[in-house]
């Protein structure tokens, strides 16, 4: 045997050490949570000092990962002496499963301090009673948040109830390329969308509603709003109303299908697949939620230069996404400090710049910011969206709240049955 045994042993020992120390399940820190009183904010920061905050966030985008690490890591460390540990997860449902199984096993403290969350994942954890209560509205920076806004104080129609704090905003929009489709010809409603699609056979489609395709679910909900007289009737659950109105939705989508890409036999599974079809001239319209405009997507190489975003005149669902703290978080004080830092006007201004790579909008209401310098920063950030982004007044006019979450499954299941295979 030519290979010396000693280097081999060293390599093995190193490997063993890495396996054992690998991203540990609980990473349980010494002692339980330090005592603090949230009403006394300095006591929160005092308890948080020296802690490591474990933030579970979707990790599939390098741009967003880098944004999180560079935007929140340094100020956390310098201002509060907190270390940021971002745990990239393949899907937010992985964080939900972790917390739910901790509940089953009675693990306290658990492994998760903060989760980037919204929609059905929030509902699941809230139903399981695994979220920290009574904290979001009493953060120092929470005064910058417009808690009266129904799009904000309800998450997919479920009251946020002081159990999550906003991070950023998103709104459904469409993307077009002026060199292919002039602005004057763009559809401005679902009715016009159908007309446009059938006049331009195969040049439009939407994302399949379902897991990973919630932007498609959102697009279909907008159609439901338009066909049934507006969004207000859908913010509460009413099965009879659903049974009455949904056939019209399926009829609209079924009639639309033959005019769509691949005659509606298949649909893109998620937003990125649709972008790819759009970029490669298979279709002429795409969908996005990026309030910061198309620049982030152009920069990432997802869509061609010159692409623009636009909205219909109404029924474009917009909402917020949030951070939440599990009830058994190991470092709640540090999590609170981070949730508060996220609302800092300067950081809010940088997240909404297309160059940040994050691409979503403000979580705070810029008009509530008193400090002139911070206000100027937010205004400059909004201006940096550039001429290709949907004008703010257009976004505001078209804005619609999301529907009750119980419609989510009905739409996704019903769409598969009545539209995808029905026909």
Partner 1 sequence: MTAPGRRGVSALGWLLLGGLAVLPLIVIGVQALATRWFFPDLVPQEWTFASVRGLASGGATRSAVFESLVVSLTAALASVLLAIPAARSLALGRLRHARLVGLGFLLPTVIPPVALAMGLNVVLLKADLAGTRAAVIFAHLVATLPYAVLVLTAALTRYDVAYERQAAVLGAGAGRILGRVFLPLALPAIMVCAALAFTVSWSQYLLTLLPGGGRVITLPVLLLVASDGGNPTAAAALALATAIPPAIAILLVVRRLDALGAPARPLR
Partner 2 sequence: MATQRAARGLSRPPLSGPWALAPAAIILGVLVATGLGYAVAQSLGALPLAGKPDVGLGAYRTLLADDGGDLWASAAFTLWVTAASTLVAAAMALAAIAWLDRPRTRGRGGATGLLHLNLAIPHVVWAFALLLVLTQSGVAARAAAAVGLLDSPSDFPVLVRDGYGIGIVLHYATKEAPFLALVGMAISRAQPRELGVIAQTLGATGLRRLRLVTLPVVGPGLAVASALVFAFVFGAYEAPVVLGASSPRLLSVLSLDLFNASDLTRRPEAMALGVVMAVFVVALVGAAAFSRRQR
CA dist 334 and 80 (Å) reads 9
Strands of the sheet containing 308-310, edge to edge, are 286-288, 173-176, 308-310
Per-residue binding string, partner 2, 1-30, x by CB under 8 A, is: ------------------------------
List, in sequence order, the alpha helices (H) in 82-171.
Answer: 92-105, 120-127, 150-153
383 vs 96: CA distance, rounded Å: 37
By CB under 8 A, tell whether 254 contacts partner 2.
Answer: no
What 8-state DSSP symbol labels residue 154?
E
Nearer to partner 2 by C-beta: 371 or 409?
Answer: 409
Compute how many other C-beta atoms are within 10 angstroms of the C-beta atom of residue 23.
9
Locate tokens 């205004």: which residue? 379
Span interacting with partner 1, options 127-135, 252-260, 272-280, 338-346, rule CB under 8 A: 272-280
Cβ–Cβ contacts within 10 Å for residue 386, how many?
Answer: 13
In sequence order, what are the beta bridge partners of 87?
A: 56
* 394 is a contact residue toward partner 2 (CB under 8 A): no
202: partner contacted, choices partner 2, partner 1, none (Cβ within 5-8 A by kind) = partner 2
Strand 308-310 versus strand 316-324 pairing type? unpaired
Half-sphere exposure of 81 (CA within 13 A, CB side): 8
Taking the C-alpha atoms of residue 157 and residue 159, their distance in angstroms, rounded to an integer, is: 6
Report the residue number, 130 or 338, with the smaller CB distance to partner 2. 130
Which CB atom, from 5 or from 184, has the smaller least distance to partner 1? Answer: 5
Closer to partner 2 by Cβ: residue 29 or 97? 97
- Residue 272 and residue 247: Cα distance in Å, rounded? 29
* Site residues (CB under 8 A) for partner 2, limited to 123-152: 123-124, 128
Residue 177 near partner 1 by CB under 8 A: no
Burial class (CB in 10 A: 0-12, 13-18, 19+), 264: buried
Query: By the 8 A CB rule, do 205 and 263 touch?
Result: no
Which is closer to partner 2, CB of 85 or CB of 282?
282
Nearer to partner 2, 78 or 129 (CB): 129
Q: Does 239 participate in binding partner 1 (rule CB under 8 A)?
A: no
Which residues are registered as beta bridge partners of 89?
Answer: 58
Question: 127-138 burial, b for 16+ CB within 10 Å, e for fewer?
Answer: eeebbbeebbee
d(CA 364, CA 293): 18
Options 45, 53, 82, 87; binder of partner 1; rule CB under 8 A = 87
**x-or-dash pattern for partner 1, window 302-341, by CB under 8 A?**
x-xx------------------------------------
The window from 32-40, 44-52, 168-176, 276-284 that contacts partner 1 (CB under 8 A) reads: 276-284
Binding-site partner at residue 26 among partner 2, partner 1, none, CB < 5 to 8 Å by type: partner 1
Q: Measuring CA to CA, which residue among 198, 242, 200 is closest to residue 221?
A: 242
Helix (H, G, I), strand (E, B) or coil at 321: strand
Output 3 or 183, the one with its CB closest to partner 1: 3
* Binding-residue total with partner 2 (CB under 8 A): 33
Binding to partner 1, residues 290-309 (CB under 8 A): 298, 300-302, 304-305
Q: Which is nearer to partner 2, 239 or 409 (CB)?
A: 409
Tell me: does residue 93 bind partner 2 (CB under 8 A): yes
CB of 44 to partner 1, least distance (A): 28
Among positions 88, 137, 151, 250, the unique one binding partner 1 when judged by CB under 8 A:
88
Stretch that binds partner 1, among 55-63, 135-143, 226-234, 245-253 (CB under 8 A): 55-63
Which residue has 């890591």 as its token pair?
A: 73
Contact set for partner 1, span 351-370 (CB under 8 A)? none
In 106-213, which residue ranges form alpha helices assigned H by DSSP? 120-127, 150-153, 190-199
**What is the x/- site pattern for partner 2, positions 269-288, by CB under 8 A?**
x-------x--xxx------
Q: Is the peptide bond before 397 cis (omega within 30 degrees of 0)?
A: no
DSSP percent split of the chain into helix, strand, coil, nearest 5: 50, 15, 40
Which residues in this chain contact partner 1 in the complex, by CB under 8 A?
1, 12, 15-16, 18-20, 22-26, 59-63, 65-66, 87-91, 93-95, 97-98, 101-102, 104-105, 107, 111, 269-273, 275-276, 279-282, 298, 300-302, 304-305
Given the rule CB under 8 A, which residues bind partner 2? Answer: 91, 93, 97, 100-101, 103-104, 119-121, 123-124, 128, 202, 208, 210-211, 262, 265-267, 269, 277, 280-282, 408-409, 413, 416-417, 420-421
């Amino acid at each position: 045997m030519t290979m010396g045994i000693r280097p081999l042993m060293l390599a093995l020992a190193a490997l063993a050490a890495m396996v054992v120390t690998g991203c540990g399940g609980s990473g349980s820190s010494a002692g339980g949570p330090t005592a603090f009183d949230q009403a006394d904010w300095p006591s929160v920061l005092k308890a948080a000092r020296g802690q490591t905050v474990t933030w579970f966030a979707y990790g599939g985008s390098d741009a967003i990962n880098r944004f999180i690490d560079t935007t929140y890591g340094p100020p956390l460390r310098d201002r509060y002496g907190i270390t940021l540990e971002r745990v990239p997860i393949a899907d937010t449902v992985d964080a939900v499963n972790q917390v739910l199984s901790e509940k089953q096993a009675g693990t306290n403290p658990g492994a998760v301090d903060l989760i980037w969350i919204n929609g059905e994942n929030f509902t699941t954890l809230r139903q399981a009673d695994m979220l920290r209560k009574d904290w979001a509205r009493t953060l120092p920076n929470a005064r910058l948040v417009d808690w009266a806004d129904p799009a904000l104080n309800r998450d997919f129609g479920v009251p946020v109830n002081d159990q999550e704090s906003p991070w950023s905003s998103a709104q459904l929009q469409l993307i077009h390329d002026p060199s292919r489709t002039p602005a004057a010809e763009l559809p401005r409603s679902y009715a016009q969308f159908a007309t446009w699609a059938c006049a331009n056979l195969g040049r439009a489609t939407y994302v399949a509603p379902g897991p990973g395709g919630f932007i498609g679910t959102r697009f279909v909900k907008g159609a439901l709003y338009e066909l049934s007289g507006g969004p207000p009737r859908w913010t509460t659950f009413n099965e009879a109303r659903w049974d009455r109105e949904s056939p019209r939705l399926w009829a609209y989508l079924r009639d639309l299908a033959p005019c769509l890409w691949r005659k509606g036999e298949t649909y893109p599974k998620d937003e990125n697949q649709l972008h790819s079809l759009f970029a490669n001239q298979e279709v002429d319209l795409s969908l996005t939620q990026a309030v910061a405009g198309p620049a982030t997507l152009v920069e990432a190489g997802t869509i061609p230069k010159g692409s623009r975003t636009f909205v219909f005149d109404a029924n474009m669902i917009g909402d917020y996404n949030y951070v939440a703290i599990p009830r058994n978080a190991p470092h709640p004080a540090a999590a609170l400090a981070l949730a508060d830092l996220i609302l800092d006007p300067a950081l809010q201004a940088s997240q909404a710049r297309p160059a940040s790579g994050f691409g979503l909008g403000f979580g705070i209401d810029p008009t509530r910011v008193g400090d002139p310098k911070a206000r100027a920063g937010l205004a400059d950030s909004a201006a940096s969206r550039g001429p290709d982004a949907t004008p703010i007044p257009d976004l505001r006019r078209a804005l619609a709240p999301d529907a009750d979450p119980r419609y989510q499954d009905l739409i996704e299941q019903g769409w598969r049955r009545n539209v995808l295979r029905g026909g």
